[in-house]
Chains A and B, each alone.
Chain A
Amino acid sequence: MRKVLESILVPVLAVLIALLISAFVIVAIGKNPLQAYAVLVRGAFGSKQAIIDTLIKTTPLILTGLAVGFGFRAGVFNIGAEGQMAMGALIAASIASNFGNIPPVVAIPLTLVIGMGAGAGWAAIAGFLKAKTGAHEVVTTIMLNWITTFVASFMVTGPLATGSGTPKSPEIAASAQLPILMKVGAMELSAGIIISLLAAVFMYVFLNKTTVGYEVKAVGFNPYAAEYGGISVSKNVVLAMAISGALAGLAGVTELMGVHHRFLGELSGGKGFDGISIALIGQNNPIGIIFAALLIGALRTGSNEMQFLGVSKYIVIIVQGIVIFLVAADRIVRTIYLRKKVKS
């Protein structure tokens, strides 16, 4: 129980400190921080539309956060969620545009599986290279990210190109689009948010309740002991990368099926990398990741509103940066906390 409390305490403390520091910055540019934060909160949660907007932004962040967090728990540093996300969306887009004659009950799961499979396969390459040659996944996934960038822009300007203006793929079949849960104005909240929550449940159950989860964690903690215990390290490294990639692919494909309905020729705009921050803030815990994603999603949504006040939206980047710094520097927080305990 105390451990749970402690693991919540650190990120919450970090957020509060970050808001405090940013408040000084806002004062420095001659604005009222309280007013700015009030607008920020209103912008993120103040209306139905705002809430929907926040949830739409949160959905892919939960999934990339889970992708990276899962990797960390399994001892791999998947820095390529960005590329896996794009790969998932790209492959699913190119196939699902032909699903016109397939009913939604089949088309939706099928498209989801294609997207996850593409992400998994793409990440598994890095896992395979690590298992066989020892090449570090940080290096290989970054390389795969670049390959994805070029493949993606080739596809949308070449084979998949449609219409004029910005390069893009054709729309996916209506039957492959995710159902809309709520609609306010132009804002449509798709079932993607439910998928992302289910993915968090999956990660929790997988890591804590299954034998394969046990093995993946064992390999992450101590590969020597894992091998000694009859757990194949190379198999599990590939598996861990694949699952992490599948979650990233799912992020891409839910964006495709729930928001854009077509592939827009570029990577996810940093959501894959956001996953790293979110996993850190959420301490690689599925529930923590949900809240961390919501935090970042809300900051992003609310910051637009804050702009109208004359406070740059980059303030939230400062907030985000400080939070990450503080959580990553968890040890510092911990030692201060420990020392206090010793003194008292």
Chain B
Amino acid sequence: MAPEVNEIKTAHHLYAVEMIDITKRFPGVLANDRVTLRVKAGEIHAIVGENGAGKSTLMNQLYGLYHPDSGEIRIFGEQKRFHGPRDAIRAGIGMVHQHFMLVDTLTVAENVVLGSEPVKGLNFDLNRAREEVRKLSEAYGLYVDIDAKIEDIPVGMQQRVEIIKTLYRGANIIILDEPTAVLTPQEVEELFEIMRNLKKSGKTILFISHKLNEVMEISDRITVMRGGRVTAELITKETNEREIARAMVGRDVVLKLDKPPHKAKDVVLEVRNLWVKDNRHLNAVRGVSFQVRAGEVVGIAGVAGNGQTELVEAITGLRKVENGEIIFLGKNVAGAHPRQLREMGMSHIAEDRLKYALIKPFPAYYNAILGRHYKTPFASGAFLNHREIKRFTAELMEEFDVRPRIIEHLGGNFSGGNQQKLVVGREIKAHPKFMVVAQPTRGLDVGAIEFIHRQILRMREQDVAILLISMELEEIFSLSDRILVMYEGQIMGEVRPEETTVEEVGLMMAGKRLEEIRGGKK
């Protein structure tokens, strides 16, 4: 019988992570329902599933943030009970969260060592910290600017800092919760290269994504979740996107959007020679001009960090305008307060929903009225009208399929995708004349993306003027009537989606002007 015992043992070591029969309940929600996940050592294991399927919850338990109500966790065959992330880290687990957890005002090196700082005598040894960060960064091709402050570096780099941080703490098993949601296609490729390097050096990676093409490209095996349960375990080489999607949503998904022709009407928003500075007081938007008409979608494409964020913040009243005009409904509103703009009929789906669009400790029914909380029917005089607020929230959650359908659920307790649906619903239901839509489908599952896209087109048909900012070229192409490409704070050219190619837009995104490209062809 001895050989068999031996076999069992090696079989155990085959798996870096085993989560067996995990159940986790939140008030009113069964987030994980007897979930079993097995991850082989040294593989890249993808976890996919709709918004709210329970992916983050499952990972948070593996990382010791939540405790399973029942079930068992084994790491390399050894049963573990984590009382907090510290225990998980000690067991060699690292996690990069869906929403980063870095300290904005500290440098890259300081952030990496935070919590386990090297010391010299009684003092923090910055030089050693920098040296160790540099070594890790070189070993895995994780390029970072060691002395830059977090608030000054792009998201892609922030993410690399998070990964270095897990490595610094000795992680063998790295959880990446929707790492690609915030990245440009270029950055995604870089991330995949890093993941391959990590895999080569024997690390095990758990990878969550809504993008099936990414999952097909990078993973070895896939676990599919739906409604808190595991619905399929697939080997990437032996499956296809269609099969995964079916396991995810329980039906076939058709991702075909038809955009009926629609005539643009009067100019609603006009930006004239706009200049805006970023947090470092450098010019981020440098002399941008364009118009958005009622009933059209104007898409702004561009690699992240080329002034789109600052442009949006200036238009929506959140950032100071240095120079130029923003004419909204015939009135110069440069420097106007967001309330004034909202009063005039502007809506804004913010790119960074946790920073701007959502108040985490507020229940859904307070988040659902942000921006209109002082107006009828949500207020009568100085008092909030709770009955109407709650009725409206229930309606919104039904209409935009925000799950769980609990109006008292706190904003911060919804899954990423459901937070976004709540925000999108709120901004659409304000019945705007003009809507700024920034990264509307970041972190959303295929079904939800389709839904939001349809909503945007419906708004267009109702003659709302829409400014869409997105890093997803596909999204820009399928929704926009006109596409503007931004590079280093300037507009490289304007094209119509049916008259251009992804290549042409790509060239503009890299800094070539349209005239140069088209002129060069002749």
Other than A211-B374, A215-B373, give 15 A-B pairs with Cβ distance below 8 A.
Answer: A210-B382, A214-B366, A217-B362, A221-B359, A221-B362, A222-B359, A224-B356, A225-B355, A225-B356, A225-B357, A225-B370, A227-B338, A228-B356, A229-B370, A229-B373
Q: Verify A230–B358 contact, CB threshold 8 A.
A: no
Whether A318 is near chain B, meaning CB under 8 Å from some CB there, is: no
Q: Verify B337–A232 contact, CB threshold 8 A.
A: yes
- With A212-B382, A214-B384 already in contact, the answer to whether A228 and B362 are too (CB < 8 A) is no
Whether B83 is near chain A, meaning CB under 8 Å from some CB there, is: yes
Nearest A residue to B84, CB-CB: A335
Q: Verify B371–A229 contact, CB threshold 8 A.
A: yes
Residues of A within 8 A of B373 (CB): 211, 214-215, 229
How many whole Å from A278's CB to the nearest CB in chain B? 22
Q: Encode B344-379 as 1/0 by CB contact (under 8 A) with A.
A: 000010100001111111100010001101100001
- With A209-B384, A210-B383 already in contact, the answer to whether A228 and B357 are too (CB < 8 A) is yes
How many angstroms between the C-alpha atoms of A217 and B363 in the bound complex? 12
Whether B342 is near chain A, meaning CB under 8 Å from some CB there, is: yes
- Please count how many residues in chain B sit with their CB below 8 Å of the partner chain's CB atoms: 31
How many whole Å from B428's CB to the nearest CB in chain A? 15
Whether B339 is near chain A, meaning CB under 8 Å from some CB there, is: yes
Residues of B within 8 A of A230 (CB): 337-343, 371
How many whole Å from A234's CB to the nearest CB in chain B? 11
B342, B348, B362, B370 interface centre (most CB from chain A within 10 Å): B370
Nearest B residue to A212, CB-CB: B382
Q: Verify A211–B383 contact, CB threshold 8 A.
A: yes
21 A-B residue pairs with Cβ-Cβ distance under 8 Å, sorted by A, are: A209-B384, A210-B383, A213-B384, A214-B374, A218-B359, A221-B359, A221-B360, A221-B362, A222-B355, A222-B359, A224-B355, A227-B318, A228-B316, A229-B338, A230-B338, A230-B339, A230-B340, A230-B342, A231-B339, A338-B67, A342-B67
Q: Verify B350–A228 contact, CB threshold 8 A.
A: yes
Residues of A within 8 A of B67 (CB): 338, 342
Q: Verify A210–B384 contact, CB threshold 8 A.
A: yes
Q: Encode A285-304 as 1/0 by CB contact (under 8 A) with B.
A: 00000000000000000000
How many whole Å from A202's CB to the nearest CB in chain B? 13
Residues of B within 8 A of A232 (CB): 337, 339
Residues of B within 8 A of A132 (CB): none
How many whole Å from B350's CB to the nearest CB in chain A? 6
- Pick the contact of B370 from A210, A212, A218, A338 — CB < 8 Å? A218
Residues of A within 8 A of B348 (CB): 228
How many whole Å from A225's CB to the nearest CB in chain B? 5
Residues of B within 8 A of A210 (CB): 382-384
Q: Verify A211–B356 contact, CB threshold 8 A.
A: no
Interface residues of B in 295-320 (CB under 8 A from A): 316, 318
How many whole Å from A243's CB to the nearest CB in chain B? 14
Q: Verify A225–B358 contact, CB threshold 8 A.
A: yes
How many whole Å from A162's CB to the nearest CB in chain B? 43
Nearest A residue to B369, CB-CB: A214
Q: Encode B126-140 as 1/0 by CB contact (under 8 A) with A.
A: 000000000000000
**Interface majority SS on A: helix, strand, loop or mixed?**
helix
How many angstroms between the C-alpha atoms of A224 and B382 in the bound complex? 23
Interface residues of A in 293-326 (CB under 8 A from B): none
B-to-A contact residues, CB < 8 Å: 67, 83, 316, 318, 337-343, 348, 350, 355-362, 366, 370-371, 373-374, 379, 382-384, 386
Q: Encode A49-81 as 1/0 by CB contact (under 8 A) with B.
A: 000000000000000000000000000000000
- Pick the contact of B360 from A212, A215, A222, A338 — CB < 8 Å? A222
Residues of B within 8 A of A218 (CB): 359, 362, 370
Q: Encode A140-170 as 1/0 by CB contact (under 8 A) with B.
A: 0000000000000000000000000000000
Residues of B within 8 A of A214 (CB): 366, 373-374, 384
Q: Verify A339–B318 contact, CB threshold 8 A.
A: no
How many angstroms between the C-alpha atoms of A232 and B342 in the bound complex? 13
How many whole Å from A133's CB to the nearest CB in chain B? 17
How many angstroms between the C-alpha atoms of A218 and B361 in the bound complex? 9
How many angstroms between the C-alpha atoms of A209 and B373 in the bound complex? 12
For the complex of A and B, 9 pairs with smallest distance between CB atoms: A230-B339, A229-B370, A229-B371, A342-B67, A228-B356, A211-B374, A230-B338, A211-B379, A222-B359
How many whole Å from A292's CB to the nearest CB in chain B? 22
Nearest B residue to A213, CB-CB: B384
Residues of A within 8 A of B342 (CB): 230
How many angstroms between the C-alpha atoms of A231 and B379 in the bound complex? 15
How many whole Å from B415's CB to the nearest CB in chain A? 19
Nearest B residue to A3, CB-CB: B27
How many angstroms between the C-alpha atoms of A231 and B362 in the bound complex? 15
Q: Verify A211–B339 contact, CB threshold 8 A.
A: no
Residues of A within 8 A of B316 (CB): 228
Residues of B within 8 A of A211 (CB): 373-374, 379, 382-384
Interface residues of A in 105-137 (CB under 8 A from B): none
How many whole Å from B203's CB to the nearest CB in chain A? 29
Nearest A residue to B426, CB-CB: A229
Residues of B within 8 A of A212 (CB): 382
Residues of A within 8 A of B341 (CB): 230
Residues of A within 8 A of B374 (CB): 211, 214-215
Residues of B within 8 A of A228 (CB): 316, 318, 338, 348, 350, 356-357, 370-371
Nearest B residue to A230, CB-CB: B339
How many angstroms between the C-alpha atoms of A140 and B99 in the bound complex? 34
Residues of A within 8 A of B371 (CB): 228-230
Residues of A within 8 A of B350 (CB): 228
How many angstroms between the C-alpha atoms of A30 and B79 in the bound complex? 51
